[in-house]
Amino acid sequence: MSRLVLVLGDQLSEDLAALREADRDNDVVVMAEVAAETDYVPHHPKKIALIFAAMRKFAARLREAGWDLRYTQLDDTENAGSIPGELLRRAEETGAREVIATEPGEWRLIEALGEMPLEVRMLEDDRFLASHRDFESWAEGRKALRMEYFYRDMRRRTGLLMEGDDPAGGQWNYDSENRKPPPEGIDFGGPMQFTPDETVEEVLDLVEAKFPNNFGDLRPFHYATDPAQARRALAHFIKNALPKFGDYQDAMLRENAHLYHAVLSPYLNIGLLSPMEVCRATEEAWRDGTAPLNAVEGFIRQIIGWREYIRGIYFLQGPEYARRNALNHQRSLPGLFWGGETRMNCLSHAVDQTREHAYAHHIQRLMVTGNFSLISGLNPQQVHEWYMASYVDAFEWVMTANTIGMTQFADGGIVASKPYVSSGNYIDRMSDYCRDCHYSVKAKTGENACPFNLLYWHFLDRHRDRFEENPRMAQMYRTWDRMNEDKRETVLREAGEFLDRMSAGETV
């Protein structure tokens, strides 16, 4: 009897575990565009379009390779509306009673598959470099699960940027060289863009019709939708941007959304590229002298270090991790995150860029939108949903620890050793956002004071019992304590007034 072979929209890899396990001559591959996956958060239209277009092209390649494939489009009249529903429909159609699946990257879907009346054989997703057992073994007995030490182990395991037993250049981490403010000019035109073909245009028309009110611009659409295009995008980045990626990876500019960033994470996360092919290609650029070590190390660290680490945290901590709120932040997400008017240039540009591209780089997410959310006391689950809804590379396994752990400290310090909070000075140093802003980054109090300056101290004051003994935050509290009492009272009053206006729906 044939079996059903499930392939999800972020599993578009020909070496997928479920496909390797299946019998091409007898088993039936099931792929489906379903409302349960488009609607659990209001995804950015570009994200929906990327996944559907890439799915359709992947399905065509499987058919060409001889697979019996049953594909359901979103607007099919018989669409069951969910992955379990589609599997049950195809089981009735084929007589199959067993499903071979590669483990999804979201607890929500893992649990839904586990509740099905069919026998589901779930295989671990070995496209990642660290298995669940690998990460659990690394984490066992550690007082703190710090990414840096996991990353060093991954370097040793993969051999990337290693010279025998030692790291290339004698250092594990060149982050100190990768924090330059934005340069006067950027000599990189951005990630490679692709003109939509007939398949992509059909998907764009579908998404335009079905999701007209989702936050985000659908067109123009230029993302890669198959492995050949994704590899061209990788080669384009390595040749034209990687040499300066390290220096300016933390910088932000109003008129340049990408600077020297690769924007390869969507292709990695849906399976068009594999982590090792990306890392080997960038490592080769260093070995042949076309890219400096600080740039290549910083880039590889994001993939074999951070990407693998946050996935490890997600599965290690379990389904309840996404519901944590260690700081008890309950303020509702303000409308400015969905494009509502704001006088803050940094947030306005970060949100506008997100709406246009479904993309913002890690510092924009961490130190602009994430920082503001944290110091404002926004509910971390609402913040998490916004990140899930807004970004083309967002999936539960990658976004949960980034939001609940890294940006919001809602996990109580599992991911971050301290909250990533700052006043407006950091944003001013690393961007041109503060130029021509309604608020003055130099003003600490008063009508025109930068809200980051006020909210930073408000956050530290209200969470003093938790953080004043943290050695990485002691200097912050000493600075606060040296202010005269009148100034501290003014800061706290004005911060509270700002938060009240924002919660009341006023433009801030």
User: In which domain, by residue range, is 464 found?
Assistant: 335-503
| Residue that terminates a domain, selected from 100, 123, 146 | 123
* Cα–Cα distance list, 479 to 51, 144, 253, 461 (Å): 49, 28, 30, 12
Q: Are residues 90 and 154 in the same domain?
A: no
Q: Are residues 95 and 161 in the same domain?
A: no
Q: Are residues 386 and 285 in the same domain?
A: no
> Look-up: residue for tokens 């309840």?
320
Amino acid, single-letter form, for residue 93: E
pLDDT digits (tens, 9 = 90+) for 248-263: 999 999 999 999 999 9
Q: Are residues 355 and 382 in the same domain?
A: yes
pLDDT digits (tens, 9 = 90+) for 139-151: 999 999 999 999 9
Residue 213's contacts (CB-CB under 8 Å, 6 or more residues apart) are none
**Pairing state between β 98-102 and 68-72:** unpaired
User: What would the DSSP string read from start to end of 230-278?
Assistant: HHHHHHHHHHHTHHHHHHHTT-BBTTBS-TT----HHHHHHTSS-HHHH
Q: Which two tokens stand for residue 14?
A: 């020909």
Pick the closest to residue 402 from 339, 337, 458, 322 (CA basis): 322
What angle, 0 to 180 degrees and rounded to 10, lies between the N-to-C axes of helices 275-287 and 293-300?
170
CA-only gyration radius of the chain, Å: 24
Tell whether 330 is covered by a domain.
no
Q: Are residues 278 and 295 in the same domain?
A: yes
Q: Are 296 and 242 in contact (CB under 8 A)?
A: yes
Q: Are 43 and 49 in contact (CB under 8 A)?
A: no
pLDDT at 1: 78
Tell whether 463 is covered by a domain.
yes
pTM for the full predicted model: 0.97
| Residue that terminates a domain, selected from 283, 317, 351 | 317
The total of structural domains in the chain comes to 3
Tell whether 483 is covered by a domain.
yes
Tell whether 469 is covered by a domain.
yes
H/E segment holding residue 28: strand 28-32
The CATH number assigned to the domain holding 97 equals 3.40.50.620
Q: Which two tokens stand for residue 144?
A: 């703190």
Give SS3 for 37.
helix
Q: Are 10 and 118 in contact (CB under 8 A)?
A: no
Q: Are 319 and 107 in contact (CB under 8 A)?
A: yes
pLDDT at 176: 87
Tell whether 210 is covered by a domain.
no
Indicate the burial class of 222 (C-beta count within 10 angstroms; 0-12, 13-18, 19 or more): middle
**Residue ranges of the chain with pLDDT lower than 70?**
none
Tell whether 215 is covered by a domain.
no
Pick the closest to residue 317 from 400, 416, 417 (CA basis): 400
Q: Which residues pair with 32 in a beta bridge?
A: 72
The CATH number assigned to the domain holding 340 equals 1.10.579.10
Give SS3 for 166.
strand
Backbone angles phi, psi at 51, to 5 degrees: -65, -45
| Residue that terminates a domain, selected from 285, 317, 349 | 317
Q: Are residues 268 and 301 in the same domain?
A: yes
Give SS3 for 135.
helix
Q: Are residues 357 and 484 in the same domain?
A: yes
The CATH number assigned to the domain holding 144 equals 1.25.40.80
Residue 367 CA, chain-centre distance (Å), reads 14
Q: Are residues 260 and 401 in the same domain?
A: no
What distance in Å separates the CA atoms of residue 213 and residue 69, rounded to the nearest whole number? 32
Tell whether 71 is covered by a domain.
yes
Q: Are residues 379 and 418 in the same domain?
A: yes
Q: Are 6 and 87 in contact (CB under 8 A)?
A: yes
pLDDT at 184: 86
Q: Are residues 354 and 434 in the same domain?
A: yes
Tell whether 163 is covered by a domain.
yes
pLDDT at 112: 97
Q: Are residues 141 and 94 in the same domain?
A: no
Q: Are residues 39 and 151 in the same domain?
A: no
